[in-house]
Amino acid sequence: MTPKNPHLRFERSFTAQGLRMIAGADEVGRGALAGPVTVGMVVVDAAAVKALKGVRDSKLLSPKDRELLVPRIQAWAAAYGVGHASPEEIDAIGLTAALRLAGTRAWQAVLETARPDAVILDGNFNWLSPVEQPSLFEEDGGTGCDAPVHTRIKADLNCLSVAAASVLAKVERDTLMAGLALEHPAYGWDINKGYATAAHRTALTEYGPSAVHRRSWRLMPDEGLPADEGSPADGALPEDAGVPAGGALPEDAGVPEGKGLAEHGVFPAGPAEGEPVLVAGQP
């Protein structure tokens, strides 16, 4: 059955509490073997905004339709941002902390234009808020966002701000991976975007991992895991990790300038001393 189009009912429900600037957030690249994990964030004025037609969860749209939606979403939103965490950062601090780091970058980009009163996060696990008691054995991946975060299962299907965020994140990450494919043509990233397709696995067997692969992950299939899904080497995934539709699961320690990285052509540059080294890549 075809899912209904996303709407603004949940975003508008916050206005009864006096909250009107509502951000939707979603990630892409969680289960990929190579490339960054990316978080998109779109802010709407829930008290005034009208629904934007044509927006759906990015996995339900063709690449062409996603690209056509980007300027429309950017013009419609009160603010938007996209953040990335590089493969080296994923290896250094773990996937959950890397998601928080990418989300922190998206959040800080949004703050250049607007301050959300609340955030709707796709899924049932809040990886975006600051960690109150970081583990002694795991580095915190970023400050997170200081607004209340409301997790919602399938928010990318029924919350318009979250669906819009998924489109921005998907288009920017896909553009970045297509650029990296020019530097590493053997792996087919222009097609598979870093996910574990059969062709990608074959290239890994033949050529070994590149500098853009997540070295801490099991890069070849594990028994019990879908063939198109990668996993951290310790076998642990965040509790909200799942198998995506269509064969994919759902830098610098500072903030990228502007609205996202794809327009700049590189991961953010210049980590401070002692921070993870970043991969450079061009979309």
**DSSP H or E segment with residue 152:** strand 149-152
Binding annotation? 26-27, 122
Name 80's bridge partners.
42
- The two tokens of residue 11 are 């975003």
- The two tokens of residue 44 are 């709407």
DSSP 57: -
Name 249's bridge partners.
none
- The two tokens of residue 16 are 């009864």
Name 82's bridge partners.
40
Binding annotation for a divalent metal cation? 26-27, 122
* Amino acid letter, 268: P
Of 94, 101, 152, 165, the C-alpha closest to 126 is 152
Task: Round to whole Å and give the CA distance between 40 and 209.
Answer: 27
